[in-house]
Amino acid sequence: MTKMLASVNSVEEALLVLHENVDIIDLKQPASGALGALNINVIQSIVAIIAKRRPVSATIGDLPMQAQLVFNAVQTMSETGVDYIKIGFFPDNNWQATIDKLALLTQKKLALIAVLFADGQPNLNVIPVLKHAGFTGVMLDTMDKKQGSLNQLMASNAIQHFVTSAKNQQLLCGLAGSLTLNDIPELLIHQPDYLGFRGALCEQRDRTGQLSRQSIKLIKQAIA
């Protein structure tokens, strides 16, 4: 059964989506990029107030694929107590060094989620490599939120290949990327573990704007 991930950027938003029974609360700052990092103090406050009532994930920011830089950011984020740490795998010639470095942290039982970008033409052969390195899950997202939704940037058979590859490796699997209410039926066919939303939950569909309770309800009902 596919569940709902909602991205929030404040304690108030986290409590709102908790009240609306979203399945996972994702912490990021949309104004700072595709996977903009939220202030560490805010993350700690949200983790404390959610108090394990829902799983909480957080992004480390739009960082270049420099192994030590990413490693340090993940290590810092792990100290906040979030359940999952999301790492954007941006286009680069050498992901392997970063994956190898992060394997040192998965050995400490940190739950890492790799985020691949549909508009970055990701090599899905990396999925078994991520599993071997101890990653917990993988998501498919988009970098440029102005270019349309995931459905518009990647063919349905390619999305299905991603989901199948992740499940074959027993990795948690999520789909995101400017998703709208209308995208849900087509994506549910692929049976991902999660669908992730931000813009569609906001007033005027502005991902940097305030969340709309009614929009959250509509998305939740459509997935259910």
Please give the full DSSP string across 90-117, using - where no structure is assigned: -S-S--HHHHHHHHHHHTTT--EEEEEE
Would you place residue 160 in the very low, low, confident or very high pLDDT band (cuts 50, 70, 90)?
very high
Question: Dihedral of the CA atoms 109, 24, 195, 120 (nearest 10)?
Answer: -50
Please choose, from the candidates 135, 112, 133, the residue with its C-alpha nearest in 3D space to the C-alpha of residue 58.
112
Class of domain 3-223: alpha beta
pLDDT tens profile 112-154? 999 999 999 999 999 999 999 999 999 999 999 888 999 999 9
CB 75 within 8 A of CB 69: no
CB 86 within 8 A of CB 102: no
According to DSSP, the β-strands at 194-197 and 137-141 are unpaired
- For residue 218, give both structure tokens: 């509509």
Which residues are catalytic, by number?
Answer: 28, 86
Q: CA 20, CA 129: separation in Å to the nearest integer?
A: 36
pLDDT number for residue 92: 85
Q: Is the pLDDT of residue 54 over 90?
A: yes
pLDDT tens profile 73-110? 999 999 999 999 999 999 987 899 999 999 999 999 99
pLDDT number for residue 206: 81
Q: What average pLDDT is seen over the chain?
A: 96
Neighbours of 206 (CB within 10 A): 11
Specify which residues 112 forms β-bridges with.
85
* Percent of residues, the chain, with pLDDT higher than 90: 93
pTM for the whole structure: 0.96
Q: Which residues contact 84 (CB under 8 A, 6 or more apart)?
A: 24, 55, 56, 57, 58, 111, 112, 113, 136, 137
Q: What is residue 219's DSSP assignment? A: H
Q: For the CA atoms of the chain, what is the radius of gyration?
A: 16
How many helices (H) and strands (E) would you count in the chain?
Answer: 9, 8
Q: What integer is the mean pLDDT of 62-76?
A: 97
- For residue 210, give both structure tokens: 């305030």
pLDDT number for residue 94: 85
86 three-class SS: strand
The residue ranges of every structural domain in the chain are 3-223
pLDDT tens profile 173-223? 999 999 999 999 999 999 999 999 999 999 888 888 899 999 999 999 999
Would you place residue 69 in the very low, low, confident or very high pLDDT band (cuts 50, 70, 90)?
very high
